Amino acid sequence: MVSDPERELAGMARRTVLIVGGGDPADSIAAGLDPTAWDVRRLDDDAQPWTDRTVTDALPDLTELDLVVHARYPAAARHRASLMDLTIDDWNEQADAPLEAAIRLARGAHPLLAEASGTIVFLVPLMASAGGEGFAAMATAAEGIRIFAKSLAKTWGDDGIRAHAITLDPSAFLDDANAAGMAEANSLHDPPLGRVPDLAREVAPIVAALTTDDFTALIGASLVVDGGLWMPG
Amino acid sequence: MSTPPTPPLPTLTGLLEGRVAIVTGAGQGVGEGIAAAMAQAGASVIIAARRAETGEPAAERIRAAGGSASFVRCDVTARADVDAAVAFSIEQFGRLDVMVHNAVSPPGPPRAIQEVDDETIALQIATSTTAAFHCAQAAFPHLQADYGSLILLTSPAGIEGSGNLPLYGAVKGAQRGLLKSLAREWGPSGVRVNAIAPVAWTPAMDVATAANPTLEARLRGRTPLQRIGDPEADIGPVAVFLASPLSRHMTGQTLAVDGGRYLGL
């Protein structure tokens, strides 16, 4: 935390963030965090199955984490496909395994987050809460992860850990061809912002802000940062 | 706390006449209640349950009440079992109109996610998400023949999360991501996909209230209708509604059938 007396006395040592997932939005969030304030660590191997020890095995020098950002969805899940065209192996790869990986990430990161009274933020595509034609597997994993963030917030408050989810426009996760039509499927208006948010310039600061003392009372939030394209009740 | 007045239930007869429904996990609890209500509404019901010692008696109780019910042994985590239940429906009745995925794996005692054992993680995901995939994919070719319906039994925990059962909240939330996507995907074919998030008397609720004598009173005190739902009389009719043309313009929805317990969701 910024107000931690030891950190202040130490001249505001950089805080440690672990960003999990390859491609966007993980890459842009990593690029958008101030390198003078954050020591950015990455785990972006989408292919390997995750265990409770994946974080500590890959990054054994970590002793604490101020922030974990989860944006890990396999490349195969980011392509439009009818549910009827998925094999059980596809489903496991695109839905069950990513959901379990997020759970394993949380379990493995818990002691590191507790050490720093840290924050964990899950980035999810709009399909999680609004559904996505051709993205049933990704939406299944993502909505499970979004709700998981709320459960963590309830459970880990006593440990000083905060948990949130941020819903982003599908284009943050999909290439242009796969994202085509997704905005129109969810909204009859253009985003009031005039465009979808820039991940590095406009979303990364929100993620960072969630770790500060200004947001101590925000617990288990499910924020939508999409430029106003979708305004859930 | 006295039980508040509850209006009598109107007859469901005829609402699902000629329809055929598979209900997973229907050997007891909410699944049995839904199966019984659908049978009362005229549907031929297939009790797809893992254990014959609960599934057979559940089917017999429905038949004894004048309904049509068959038991098929089905472990929903095994695709072959789900395919066999669907095949039974087609062979016996020539159709399948409703697939209700209700089966769950016991979530275990309340505990933080880092304390949940590996077996529970695997079973929860397999029963709630993998099995939902099996049920949806196996049923869809038949559901689309005549305006069929897929109904998933989720939970308020799948909407607001759960501090006591974080894994259960995650897998029940995951089901809602699936149902909304399938509602979009299958809408053009006339197949509707909805969910029910119940709070009702189930074997799990019996265990919980027996272990914690104050739980029932506290739960009722936080519920505007001041009672816990009955699987057949309170949850079943809502499932009948979602399976029938009465809800023909509804898809992608989750109905909280909870006496108002979770008004804030």
Ordered by start, the domain boundaries in chain A are 5-222
**Which value does ipTM take for this structure?**
0.95
On whether the CB atoms of residues A21 and A142 are closer than 8 A, the answer is no
Assigned domain for B211 exists:
yes
Does residue B1 fall inside a structural domain? no
Which residue carries 């253009």 as its tokens? Answer: A190
- Short-list B30, B36, B131, CA closest to B83: B131
**B137 closest CB neighbour out of A84, A99, A106:** A84
In chain A, what percentage of residues exceed pLDDT 90? 83
pLDDT at B129 over 60: yes
Please tell me the predicted confidence (pLDDT) of residue A184. Answer: 81
Average pLDDT (A92-96) is 97
Angle, in degrees to the nearest 10, between helices B79-93 and B131-143: 30
> B4 in a domain, yes or no?
no
CB contact under 8 A, A155 and B113: yes
The pLDDT, as a whole number, for residue B94 is: 98
For A168-216, what is each residue's pLDDT tens digit?
A: 999 999 999 999 888 788 887 888 899 999 999 999 999 999 999 999 9
pLDDT at A47: 65
Sorting pLDDT into bands at 50, 70 and 90, what band is A130?
A: very high
pLDDT at A166: 98
Determine whether the interchain pair B163/A128 forms a contact, defined as Cβ–Cβ distance below 8 Å.
Answer: no
For domain A5-222, which CATH number applies: 3.40.50.720, 3.50.50.60, 3.40.50.1220, 3.40.50.1010? 3.40.50.720
A192 vs B127, which has greater pLDDT? B127
Q: Does residue A123 have a pLDDT over 60?
A: yes
pLDDT digits (tens, 9 = 90+) for B81-125: 999 999 999 999 999 999 999 999 988 888 999 999 999 999 999
pLDDT value, residue B250: 98
Indicate if the pLDDT at residue A120 is higher than 70. Answer: yes
Q: Is the pLDDT of residue B204 over 80?
A: no
pTM of the full structure:
0.95
Mean pLDDT of the region A76-102: 97
Residue B11's identity, in one-letter code, is T
Beta-carbon separation of B174 and A84 below 8 A: no
Report the C-alpha gap between B256 and B195 in whole angstroms. 9
Q: Which two tokens stand for residue A210?
A: 């969630």
What residue numbers bound the domain in which B143 lies?
20-257
| pLDDT in the model for residue A191 | 85
**With contact defined as beta carbons under 8 Å apart, do A162 and A218 qualify?**
yes
pLDDT higher than 50, residue B79: yes
Nearest Cα of chain A lies from the Cα of B135 at a distance, in angstroms, of 11
Residues of B assigned a catalytic role: 168
Under the banding of pLDDT at 50, 70 and 90, the label for residue B5 is confident
Quick check: B244 pLDDT over 80?
yes
B177/A141 Cβ within 8 A: yes
What pLDDT is attached to residue B205? 82
b or e along A108-143 (b: 16 or more beta carbons within 10 Å of the residue's beta carbon)? bbbebbbbbbbbbbbbbbbbbbbbbbbbbbbbbbbb
The residue in chain A having the minimum alpha-carbon distance to the alpha carbon of residue B188 is: A133
Is residue B15, in this structure, part of any structural domain at all? no
Counting one residue from A and one from B, how many pairs have CB atoms under 8 Å apart?
146
pLDDT band at residue A11, thresholds of 50, 70 and 90? Answer: low
Reported confidence tier of residue B10, pLDDT bands at 50, 70, 90: confident
Distance spanning both ends of chain B, measured CA to CA: 26
Each residue of B163-185: pLDDT tens digit? 989 999 999 999 999 999 999 99
pLDDT at site B141? 98
A98 or A10: whose pLDDT is higher? A98
Residue B24 belongs to a domain with what CATH number? 3.40.50.720
Sort out which chain A residues have CB atoms less than 8 A from B173's CB and list them: 143-144, 146-148
Q: Check pLDDT > 70 for residue B45.
A: yes
pLDDT digits (tens, 9 = 90+) for A138-151: 999 999 999 999 99
Is B7 inside any structural domain? no
Closest CA to A31 of A42, A46, A15: A42
Taking an 8 Å cut-off on Cβ atoms, the answer to whether A143 and B176 are in contact is: yes
Assess if residue B265 is contained within a domain. no
Mutation for B interface: A90, A93, A103, A127, most B CBs within 10 A: A103
Distance from CA of A169 to the nearest CA of B (A): 16
B168 to chain A, closest Cα gap in Å = 9
Q: Which pLDDT does position A2 carry in this prediction?
A: 44
Q: Is the per-residue pLDDT at A10 higher than 60?
A: no
Average pLDDT, chain A: 92
Count of domains forming chain B:
1
